[in-house]
Amino acid sequence: MILNQWRYAILLGVFIIFTARADFDGRVVRILDGDTIETLSASGQSVRIRLAGIDAPEKNQPFGQRSRQALSALLAQKAVQITGDKNDQYGRLLGTVWMEGTDVNALQVKNGMAWAYRYHGRAINPQYEQLENTARGNSIGLWSVPGQTEPWRWRQASKE
């Protein structure tokens, strides 16, 4: 009986640790590119955020600098809320950035400054895919120039 209670307590603890979310308020202190920012949390911790669900052009790719500038215009030195629960292979928190209740990740896609992120060819966020399709159909942002290369293909070609 006591052993079962301990097992339950340990399993509950493990569950809480692995499902904890990294929701916090912060101030944007740096824009690295169109889908990566650095924030300073209220506790003074620097946290690098990869905007989840989107993929912006690389810095040296067409529209890469415009995407970064668009994100900077939205977020530079602004107070934001971050919701996220995992890190990518580079240690960045994968998160949704909220400013005054607005999903900034979605704004980047809506404004034609990023693609909806795809995994095995499918967008991981259907709302972002709809925003991308609308931006594409209206020739907004990067969609105003035909023949854009998806960032994941650009990165792969750069490795070869």
CA 2/CA 105 separation, integer angstroms: 48
Exactly one of 7, 21, 48, 58 is catalytic; name it: 58
Exactly one of 21, 48, 68, 92 is catalytic; name it: 92
Has 92 been annotated as catalytic?
Answer: yes
Cα dihedral: 126, 129, 135, 136 (round 10): -150
Exactly one of 7, 30, 50, 100 is catalytic; name it: 50
Has 7 been annotated as catalytic?
Answer: no
Has 50 been annotated as catalytic?
Answer: yes
Chain-centroid distance, C-alpha 145: 24
Residues taking part in catalysis: 50, 58, 92
